[in-house]
Amino acid sequence: MIGQPHILSVTDIERGIEAVATQLGTDVGTLISTNRLAPPYITLNPSEVYGPPLASVTSTQPLTAGSSSVSFPGQPQSINTLYLAYSGASGLVAEAVGVRAYDGTTFELSTPLQNSYGLSAQVQMFTAFSVGNVHVLLPGDTVYVPVTSATNNFNLSALAELVDAFGTDLAWPLQWDASGDLATVSGEAMAQQRFASVLGTDLQSLPLHPDFGAQLRAKLGSSSPDTPWPAYAREALMKLPEIMDIRNLQTTLAGSSLAITGDSYVTGNNAPLSVNTTVSLA
């Protein structure tokens, strides 16, 4: 299918098909017809897509974003789709992922996991319907919108739109403006301040907002060349209510400093707004 791909998140499903269409710069009818969707179009319930699961298990060890295999011994050989779901401190994460091979112990996945899952994640196992049927999409599935020109499907962003999305707040660290008042930031500067704030705050460190923040600093001590830093950064940024999608995240770890760049899409159908911040993990 020719089109601009977008991987559905739990947040997308919760917002609904209309919000996803708006986010992708198209109308609901076009999105449904292009992807051959059937009611309810998108869902968090895998049984609405695949019918009853062949098996259900609970994970006995954490599953990490970026993993290309998961181990669950003794499951039916006919399984070709897994649906993982976990409700943790940061809320529900879930995704459907295809199975490339199974040796009786380990499922080799068609695509790496998008999310991380803690102990006791719920894993339902299915034999999926044949590819090409009219279908319903789950978190982790890809939805497409037709490409109509050489540019992307997002309108150019105006400063007023960014102010509407992010508002205006005091500059941080606090500083004085030319009139002697505390300086404020808005628009893109406010967006970058919000990005830096959520990425630089430790998850569960704010008693009144335990879901705000990132796992980045907690993961530094156990980091390896395979640590999925972009997945952890995306998880934190998607918690900002202004954010509709995050794409093309790249990270560079130098000592205890993590540089993060990427493209964010905010409410109002804006053009991509760059994420460009460095977080100290010390």
Cis peptide before 173 (omega within 30 of 0): yes
Q: For the segment 136-194, what is each residue's pLDDT rounded down to a tens digit?
A: 899 988 888 765 543 333 333 444 445 455 667 777 777 888 888 888 878 788 888 88
Mean pLDDT (the chain) is 81
pLDDT for the residue 153: 35
pLDDT for the residue 157: 40
With a pLDDT cut of 70, the percent of the chain lying above it is 84
The domains found in the chain, sorted by start residue, are 4-145 (no CATH), 159-280 (3.10.450.40)
Q: For the segment 209-238, what is each residue's pLDDT rounded down to a tens digit?
A: 777 888 888 887 666 677 788 888 888 888
Q: Is 58 exposed, middle or buried (0-12, 13-18, 19+ CB in 10 A)?
A: exposed
Q: Which residues contact 58 (CB under 8 A, 6 or more apart)?
A: 120, 121, 122, 123
C-alpha closest to that of 247 among 12, 7, 19, 1? 7
pLDDT for the residue 168: 74
Higher-confidence residue of 163 and 65: namely 65
pLDDT for the residue 7: 85
- Does residue 93 sit in helix, strand or coil? strand
Residues in the chain: 282
Least confident of 2-16, 75-89, 246-260: 2-16
